[in-house]
Amino acid sequence: MNGALEDCEEAPSFSWGRLTNLTRFIYTQLMGVMFLICQILLFALLFLLSNLFTALTAPFPVCLILYGVVVGALGLLTMDRRSYSPLPKPRKHNVLVRRGIYRILRHPMYAGLLSIGLAFMLSRFAPLSAILYAAFAVITNLKANLEEKLMSEKHPEYSTYRQKTKKYIPLVY
C-alpha cells in the first residue's frame, strides 16, 4: 500500500502554465484560420462584384493590379520555402527573411492582395464593394498584426526589422 501512495505523489501535477500555453496555441490557430477564411471569402466577393473589363482596361485599376501581382510575386519568390504558410503562425523551421522585397515591405503578399482588391472595388464602385473592401483590409491587417506578434516571439530581431521596414506601402506605411 505504501508503494501505491508513493506512485501517486510522483504523478505529474496539474499546471496552469501548460493550460495557458495550450489555450494560447488553440486561440492563435483558430484566429489564423478564421482570418484566412474571411480573407478568401471577402476577396472572392470583391472579384465577383467587380467589372473585369474596367479592372483590366482602365489605367488606374490596371496599375493597381500590376503592382499587386509584381509585389506579391516578389514576396512569394523571395520568401524561404520553410517559412511560407497562409496562416499567421510561423512554421517550425521559419526563417526571418530580410532580403529582396522584404527589405522594403514586411508584408508584400498582403500588400499585393490589398492592391488587387482595391482595383476590384474601384472597377465597380458601390457602397457594398466599399464595405467589403474595408472589411477585407481590416481582416488582412489583423492577420498581419497577429503574424507580427508571433514572429516577434520566434525571432527577437523582428522588432528591429519592424521599426526599419514599412508594412504595406514603401516609404509610407
Is it the case that residue 6 has pLDDT exceeding 60? no
- Please give the DSSP secondary-structure letter assigned to residue 172: T
Q: What pLDDT shows up at residue 93? A: 86
How many other C-beta atoms are found inside a 10 Å radius of the C-beta of residue 26?
A: 10
Cell numbers describing residue 63 = 496599375
Beta-ladder partners of 166:
105
Q: What pLDDT shows up at residue 19? A: 58
Is it the case that residue 15 has pLDDT exceeding 70? no
List pLDDT tens digits, range 82-97: 888 899 988 888 889 9
Our CA angle for 21, 24, 28, nearest 5°, is 140
Q: Return mean pLDDT, the chain.
A: 89
Q: What pLDDT shows up at residue 67? A: 97
Q: What's the pLDDT band for 22 if we cut at 50, 70, 90?
A: confident
pTM: 0.85
Residue 100 CA to residue 88 CA, distance in Å, equals 21
CA torsion 17→145→88→115, rounded to 10°? 170
Closest CA to 75 of 46, 47, 98: 98
Closest CA to 155 of 101, 95, 79: 95
Q: What pLDDT shows up at residue 25? A: 81
Residue 116 CA to residue 70 CA, distance in Å, equals 11
Handedness of CA 142, 155, 72, 76 (dihedral sign): negative
List pLDDT tens digits, range 40-71: 999 999 999 999 999 999 999 999 999 999 99
Q: What pLDDT shows up at residue 13? A: 53
Q: Are 128 and 155 in contact (CB under 8 A)?
A: no
Residue type, 125: F
Which class for 111: exposed (0-12), middle (13-18), buried (19 or more C-beta within 10 A)?
buried
